[in-house]
């Protein structure tokens, strides 16, 4: 019984380049009480590997979080399989705005303590007791309500390139940082204001909506399906698009454009730009925004020091990295003293 990838990411990338099959990029999540996440993980791997699914999936006692791609011809079979699992029957699947064959290069299904790390240790908190879900039309309506406070539940590097007009965008690195910060800043509005939240696909604001209800907030709402589903409904129903810029995604695409607005700047020169890149120095790998001009000038690097490193002979680079571990900068996406035009 094969429960792991036989091929490397490079081998899979080469196969995808040669393939003529179109692939869909999808995501879905479901909060549920799962007794044996390991058993579910193994079952999913065996079933999805046969459907040529690639992606990053987390399974925990609290549910499942899946981001993946598969051949479009296998989509119906994939949905049929989901419907054989009781808590996933008719689960909403977000279909990406933009597709890319190589959005994922492995099938990775991991058992985690939680599907969204929240830093909480409160046994009385039930994540399934969520807030009110809104479609795009109702979300737009509530967004215009003076009694509404709209909060972006994503991280700073996500909201930097795109967000809803008028939304509060907390300057946080992780979801776990956002919960206590928002609770503190919004505490005076527990009774009288509508708390309206959104994120990429809905999973973070669903947990947040349950958390804030648990903390006594009376009027809690969330955008169902997140920005991905919002963009689809806006297009299909010819609604007003109140999202400006790009929607950051956690795969090789980095982002998908929702509007033509460019609201961010190159972190190195300040020119209008909303394209993320990882520093070419593998020992750094910092995620930051870089325009084409700086990309050419800096060889895809975040700093002169990193540029010097990648231009060393390969063997010399190996020697210079020996015994060294990646610093915290690899986790601090978009934050570095080397980035002149990034607000700290």
> Catalytic residue positions?
199
Hey, CA dihedral for 90, 96, 102, 104, is it positive or negative?
negative
Tokens representing 120? Answer: 């909480």
Rounded Cα distance between 161 and 163, Å, is 7
Rounded Cα distance between 70 and 235, Å, is 24
The residues pairing with 55 across neighbouring beta strands, listed in sequence order, are 68, 107
Cα–Cα nearest to 135, from 239, 29, 247, 249: 239
Helix 37-49 crosses helix 75-82 at what angle (to 10 degrees)? 160
Q: Which residues contact 91 (CB under 8 A, 6 or more apart)?
A: 28, 30, 82
Please give the C-alpha separations between residue 47 and each of 35, 38, 39, 94, in angstroms, as whole numbers: 20, 14, 13, 20
Tokens representing 334? Answer: 């978009």
Cα–Cα nearest to 161, from 243, 250, 253: 243
Please give the C-alpha separations between residue 337 and each of 283, 292, 330, in angstroms, as whole numbers: 17, 21, 13
Pairing of strands 132-134, 220-223: parallel
Rounded Cα distance between 148 and 146, Å, is 5
* 3-state percent helix, strand, coil for the chain, nearest multiple of 5: 35, 20, 45
Dihedral angle, C-alpha 17, 23, 29, 35, nearest 10 °: -70
Tokens representing 96? Answer: 């990406």
Cβ(97)–Cβ(231) under 8 Å? yes
């Amino acid at each position: 019984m094969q429960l792991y990838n036989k091929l490397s990411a490079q081998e899979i990338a080469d196969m995808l380049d040669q393939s003529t099959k179109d692939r869909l990029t999808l995501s879905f999540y479901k909060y549920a009480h799962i007794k044996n996440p390991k058993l579910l993980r193994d079952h999913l791997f065996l079933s999805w590997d046969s459907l040529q699914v690639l992606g990053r999936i987390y399974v925990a006692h609290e549910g499942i979080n899946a981001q993946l791609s598969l051949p479009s011809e296998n989509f119906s079979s994939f949905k049929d399989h989901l419907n054989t699992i009781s808590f996933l029957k008719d689960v909403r699947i977000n279909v990406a705005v933009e597709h890319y064959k190589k959005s994922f290069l492995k099938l990775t299904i991991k058992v985690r303590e939680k599907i969204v790390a929240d830093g909480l240790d409160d046994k009385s908190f039930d994540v399934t007791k969520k807030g009110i879900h809104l479609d795009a039309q109702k979300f737009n309506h509530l967004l215009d309500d003076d009694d509404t406070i709209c909060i972006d539940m994503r991280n700073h590097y996500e909201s930097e390139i795109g967000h809803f007009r008028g939304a509060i965008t907390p300057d946080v690195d992780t979801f776990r940082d956002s919960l206590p910060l928002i609770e503190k800043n919004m505490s005076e509005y527990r009774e009288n204001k509508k708390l309206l939240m959104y994120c990429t696909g809905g999973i973070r604001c669903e947990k947040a909506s349950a958390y804030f209800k648990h903390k006594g907030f009376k009027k809690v709402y969330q955008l169902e399906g997140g920005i991905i589903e919002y963009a689809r409904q806006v297009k299909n129903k010819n609604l007003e698009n109140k999202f400006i810029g790009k929607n950051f995604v956690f795969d090789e695409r980095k982002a998908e454009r929702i509007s033509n607005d460019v609201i961010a700047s190159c972190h190195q020169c300040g020119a209008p730009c909303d394209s993320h890149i990882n520093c070419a120095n593998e020992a750094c790998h910092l995620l930051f925004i870089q325009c084409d001009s700086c990309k050419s000038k800096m060889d895809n690097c975040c700093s002169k020091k990193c540029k010097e490193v990648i231009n060393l002979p390969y063997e010399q680079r190996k020697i210079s990295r020996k015994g060294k571990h990646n610093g915290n900068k690899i986790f601090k996406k978009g934050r570095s003293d080397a980035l002149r035009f990034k607000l700290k």
